[in-house]
Amino acid sequence: MKNFLMAGAALGLLAACGPAEAPAKPEAPVAPEAAETEPVLNPLEVAVNNPARSDAEKARDAWRHPAETLEFFGVEPGDTVVEIWPGGGWYTNILAPYLAAGGGKLVAAGFDPAAAPDEERKQRTEARLAEFKANYADPQFGTIEYSVFSGISGPLTEPGTADVVLTFRNVHNWMSGGYTEKFFTDAYTALKPGGVLGVVEHRLPSTATQDPTGSTGYVHEDFVKARAIAAGFEFAGSSEINANPADTADHPFGVWTLPPVSSTADREGNTPDGFDPAIYADIGESDRMTLKFVKPE
């Protein structure tokens, strides 16, 4: 019995001294989920998404298509661009940072105080120009050069130095003032050979009669083309980027019946019987031609 117990103990000792179990193989680390990457914006998209643009401005992109329009005109960030009558700066808020980021230059050709019909309007124009300049003193807009345009103004910029001249919904104003031809001549002089003139304007159907003074705000495409070609430009193409087929261009208060102005009365305060502003709000902003011209090499 003693020998049996000793043998059992020996066997137990051998079992205790046997090889240990292999440690469990560690699990492979789980790769973290790939973080969603932000889309890379090109310089023009960055400018269009500029935080300096208000929500109200951005809301109008659906009608004005700034990125597509500037791409159609071939505006590059290193260009020298003349913007005619920038008004409140809707396009300036895109053009200025876009050009500043690429080493280009913006020339803002505003209203001309010297052309004002009286001293009161001259002072108002000067005040608006001063306010405009103050709004663009921020370094993100680069160094903007300033000039003016009117029926009596001088050169838009140094002749033969601009890559692009742009005008947005202004031709009817110059028709009213009687100096449409001067605009096209001045633009031609400002541009380099091969430079581009881009025109966006409210479009009058070809079947409608053109008022020579542009009193409704609508203009025939053929009128614009004829004036540009007479100044020496070559027609380089058109785009329907800014078209609105719902606009019939025959509204009680001209183009100003539509948004964003949405007039409900004429200058004397008269409103036609049965006038329904909702009809014009539903149409949206005007139908617009988008025309590209080139100064021959």
pLDDT one-digit tens code per residue, 24-54 = 555 555 555 555 676 788 999 999 999 889 9
Beta bridge pairs of residue 196 = 164, 294
Q: In this structure, what token pair is assigned to residue 203?
A: 């479009």
Instruction: Tell me the chain's radius of gyration from C-alpha atoms.
Output: 33
In whole angstroms, give the CA distance from residue 227 to residue 20: 97
Task: Give the architecture-level CATH label for domain 42-245+285-294.
Answer: 3-Layer(aba) Sandwich (3.40)
* Residue 255, pLDDT score: 98
Return the domain boundaries, the chain.
42-245+285-294
CA angle 290, 212, 291 (to 5 degrees): 10
Q: Report pTM.
A: 0.86
Higher pLDDT, 15 or 107: 107
Could you read off the pLDDT of 88-130 as tens digits, one per residue? 999 999 999 999 999 999 999 999 999 999 999 999 999 999 9
Axis crossing angle, helix 221-230 with helix 180-190, rounded to the nearest 10? 50
Backbone angles phi, psi at 172, to 5 degrees: -60, -30
In whole angstroms, give the CA distance from residue 117 to residue 87: 19
- DSSP, res 219: B
Instruction: List, in order, residues 6 or more apart from 268 with CB less than 8 Å away.
Output: none
